[in-house]
Amino acid sequence: MATEVERKFLVAASGWREGATSTTRYRQGYLARADAVTVRVRVAGAEAWLTIKGPSEGVSRAEFEYVIPVEEAEQLLSEHCVRPLIEKTRHLVTFAGHVWEVDEFDGDNAGLVVAEVELEHADAPVELPPWAGEEVSHLPRYFNAALVSYPYCAWTPDEKTGP
């Protein structure tokens, strides 16, 4: 079984920009969300995927990802995904031997910036970069699938200032 192990942090400073080596625009939508299982379609540049994710167990969860034609992904996004779509720009930043994904959200989630790091196992040590703020790995409202039903623009000021 494919397993994703990921920790997620709020971004507390803009120092990550100096180390960004790659920038990709993402559009993604959710075809189904039930019992903590999601089915997502994502387009990034000239590539597209269909992804199924299982319920979270700590910072781990089952993940199955399949390449699909971009034209089909665009049709799924246009005709079958729950609104709003997730729109974001992902920047890759290497720090202390790990590649961090810094996501700047747009649309209904504009203003939210989070950093994720994928690990080999849940107990893997990771040195936090100076721009990483509070960890939000265990807070469902920061999951992309949750941002569809409760986007950042609807959060209260208290919710926007941290966990």
What is the Cα–Cα distance from 75 to 45, expressed in whole angstroms? 15
Q: Kindly tell me the burial class for residue 121, based on how many C-beta atoms sit within 10 Å of its own C-beta (0-12, 13-18, 19 or more).
A: exposed
Look up 30 and say whether it is catalytic: yes
Q: Do residues 114 and 125 touch, judged by C-beta distance below 8 A?
A: no
Of 30, 66, 142, 152, which residue is the catalytic one?
30
User: Omega before 84 cis (within 30°)?
Assistant: yes
What is the Cα–Cα distance from 21 to 9, expressed in whole angstroms? 19
Q: Which residues participate in catalysis according to the annotation? A: 30
